[in-house]
């Protein structure tokens, strides 16, 4: 049976462990390393599909948990699936709901059969299981589905983490069995285990033996220091098959994207660009700035001299400053557009640096200009 999702390795950077690749899915292919804009509720906040295409977004992410609760997977199925519902004809990845349950809901009760919790919007009692998470994603019709996992809180004891990893592995097996459309939708396993090398190894071995078409690393960027995340990547990515996509969930900031790519990660997602855009924080080639700052009231230059996005091409810092201060929705569109384009452009620069075998040099240049090297 041909797999719905496959990875094509193009080359590995001679200066670092980063790899250039292409992921093929039923709704088209995208180059890696790739950043996936997050569209939790079937929209990348304030962006139209045309604008996402204009900024060269190859794939976007949406959430099982949120779409199950509202509008309902049945509604989206009736609409012809998530691609049709949101008018996006490129690849979509859906997260499984596991993480959202653990991060959004109170009163959760984790059992072998699944998780009992309350609807974070109205307090109704709910239950989510591996089988249910698969059924919802089959209804949504995403190209890449995520297995139902437990993303334990940070920090967690080794003892708790061990039992959690073992349950997540049993849940992964149940996801594979419950998957109704493997020929149309790729299902990725999620490696957990926190910062414990032995547990990451156990989780990876359990999941690799189940032969998923792709693998994610979960349970990182949950508040641990960056060096803890980088070290966890250094002992986890080598355990993941080289001929399949590697996806680091919930990451991230520009430095984490570069450092993740250097450690062999192909796919990333993070709400950061659109989340910080809503309060006027912008990522630029010379570091972060908050456009609400009074210094920008009469600054008629672009947000970022080096950016060619719609915002930087057509509007000034002063204008965006005014819109955000006046709480104008168009201001949030302009800041979101720029931040998404910034990260998508960054991944384009990372891919080019891999082609030229100089990602290590690029890291130094970018960190220096952005101010990551400042003590
Ligand atoms: C706190 C933030 C969101 C930044 O990162 C994480 O929680 N990182 C981990 C993470 C993000 N999304 C996931 N989905 C699933 N199924 N499992 C996970 O572990 C994660
Ligand atoms: Zn811009």
Question: pTM for the complete prediction?
Answer: 0.97
Q: Give me the residues of the chain with pLDDT under 70, please.
A: 1, 106
Query: Are the beta carbons of 16 and 28 closer than 8 angstroms?
Result: no
- The three-state secondary structure class of 365 is helix
Q: What is the pLDDT of residue 358?
A: 98
H or E, element range at 172:
helix 158-178
Between CA 350 and CA 157, with CA 94 as vertex, the angle to 5 degrees is 85
Q: What is the pLDDT of residue 106?
A: 67
Q: What is the pLDDT of residue 306?
A: 96
Q: What is the pLDDT of residue 139?
A: 98
The pair of structure tokens assigned to 78 is: 């009736």
CA atoms of 19 and 21, how far apart (whole Å): 6
15 — phi, psi (to 5°)? Answer: -90, -25
109 — phi, psi (to 5°)? Answer: -135, 110
Ligand 1 centre to CA of 75 (Å) is 26
Q: What is the pLDDT of residue 222?
A: 86
Q: Is the CB of 213 under 6 A from ligand 1?
A: no
Ligand 1 centre to CA of 168 (Å) is 14
Q: Is the CB of 222 under 6 A from ligand 1?
A: yes
Length of the chain: 375
Q: What is the pLDDT of residue 100?
A: 82
Question: So what's the ipTM on this one?
Answer: 0.94
Closest CA to 276 of 321, 344, 346, 332: 332
The pLDDT > 70 percentage for the chain reads 99
CB atoms within 10 A of CB 338: 26
Ligand 1 centre to CA of 99 (Å) is 6
CA atoms of 316 and 38, how far apart (whole Å): 26
Q: What is the pLDDT of residue 2?
A: 76
CB atoms within 10 A of CB 35: 27
Ligand 2 centre to CA of 111 (Å) is 47
Residues designated as active site: 95, 269
Q: Is the CB of 186 under 6 A from ligand 1?
A: no
- Choosing from 150, 151, 236 the residue with most ligand 1 atoms within 8 A of its CB, the one to mutate for a pocket test is 151
Give the atom of ligand 1 at the shortest distance from the alpha carbon of 223.
1
Contacts of 338 (CB under 8 A, 6+ apart): 277, 282, 283, 303, 304, 307, 309, 311, 312
Give the atom of ligand 1 at the shortest distance from the alpha carbon of 221.
5
Q: What is the pLDDT of residue 1?
A: 56
């Amino acid at each position: 049976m041909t797999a719905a999702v496959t990875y094509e390795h193009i080359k590995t950077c001679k200066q670092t462990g980063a790899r250039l690749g292409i992921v093929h899915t039923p709704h088209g292919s995208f180059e890696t390393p790739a950043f996936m804009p997050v569209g939790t509720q079937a929209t990348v906040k304030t962006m139209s599909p045309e604008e996402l295409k204009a900024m060269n977004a190859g794939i976007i992410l949406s959430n099982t948990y949120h779409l199950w609760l509202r509008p309902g997977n049945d509604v989206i199925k009736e609409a012809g699936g998530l691609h049709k519902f949101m008018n996006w004809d490129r690849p979509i990845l859906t997260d499984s709901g596991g993480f959202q349950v653990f991060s959004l809901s109170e009163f959760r009760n984790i059992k072998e059969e699944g998780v009992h919790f309350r609807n974070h919007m109205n307090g109704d009692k709910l239950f989510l299981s591996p089988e249910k998470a698969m059924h919802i994603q089959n209804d949504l019709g995403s190209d890449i589905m995520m297995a139902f996992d437990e993303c334990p809180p940070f920090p967690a004891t080794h003892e708790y983490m061990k039992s959690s990893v073992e349950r997540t592995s049993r849940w992964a097996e149940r996801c594979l069995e419950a998957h109704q459309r493997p020929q149309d939708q790729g299902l990725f396993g999620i490696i957990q285990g926190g910062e414990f090398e032995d547990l990451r190894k156990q989780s990876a071995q359990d999941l690799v033996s189940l032969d998923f078409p792709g693998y994610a690393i979960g349970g990182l960027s949950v508040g641990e220091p960056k060096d803890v995340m980088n070290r966890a990547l250094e002992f986890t990515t080598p355990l993941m098959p080289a001929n399949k996509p590697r996806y680091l969930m919930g990451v991230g900031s520009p430095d984490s994207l570069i450092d993740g790519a250097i450690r062999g990660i192909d796919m990333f997602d993070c709400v950061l660009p659109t989340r910080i855009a809503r309060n006027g924080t912008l990522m630029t080639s010379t570091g972060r700035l908050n456009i609400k700052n009074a210094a920008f009231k009469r600054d008629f230059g672009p947000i970022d001299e080096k950016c060619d996005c719609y915002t930087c091409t057509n509007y000034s810092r002063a204008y965006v400053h005014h819109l955000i201060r006046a709480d104008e929705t168009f201001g949030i569109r302009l800041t979101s557009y720029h931040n998404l384009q910034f990260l998508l452009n960054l991944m384009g620069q990372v891919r080019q640096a891999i082609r030229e075998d100089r990602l290590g040099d690029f890291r130094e240049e970018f960190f220096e200009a952005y101010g990551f090297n400042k003590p």
